[in-house]
Amino acid sequence: VNGGSGTLFVTGCNLRCAFCQNYQISQCGLGKELSIEETVKLFFALKEKGAENINIVTGSHAIPFLATAIKQAKEAGLDLPICWNCSAYESIEALEMLKGLVDIWLPDLKTLNPMMSEAVFKASDYPPVAKKAIRWMIKNTKSRFITVSDKTNPKQTKEKMLSGVIIRHLVMPGRLEDTILT
């Protein structure tokens, strides 16, 4: 790793996006099953390799398991920010299980059109669920940054996020009107 994000892709997904860039992982079962203990060890292995955060990708369908693993890792001394990299398709009850465990929320906001969300990822309720989830993330997370020296140019500094919310908003070709928040 040597800097950057220590990424853990979770096999499976709670959406079925027609354009998924991780299709083999999210829909074809690529990956292997880990115990909670193995997951905790993986977090520490990523840290030892120089990861600046633990980036959990598409973990929404495994929140109880991952919340337990994150909690155990933090109790064992893991001091890296935990990044929750998701589709924003989580219930508030599921997000509550991650409260105080996730530092950085990285949700994708894919569309606000229910007909498009049904056609493209088989979830007509995606827009209201995603809006509610993102609002919860913002309400429950204080943004914190630190200034660090740039490793490639020590005379320059950059801001590094320790906690907060970064929303990636997808605009599908020809569908700009689907991005307007109501």
Please indicate whether residue 153 or residue 62 has the higher confidence score (pLDDT).
62
Dist CA 131 CA 167 (whole Å):
11
CB of 92 within 8 A of CB of 132? yes
Q: What average pLDDT does the segment 10-18 reach? A: 81
| DSSP, residue by residue, 11-62 | S--S---TT-TTHHHHTS--S----HHHHHHHHHHHHHTT-SEEEEES-GGG
Q: What does the pLDDT look like over 60-93, one tens digit per residue?
A: 999 999 999 999 999 999 999 999 999 999 999 9
What's the pLDDT band for 1 if we cut at 50, 70, 90?
very low
pTM (two decimals): 0.90
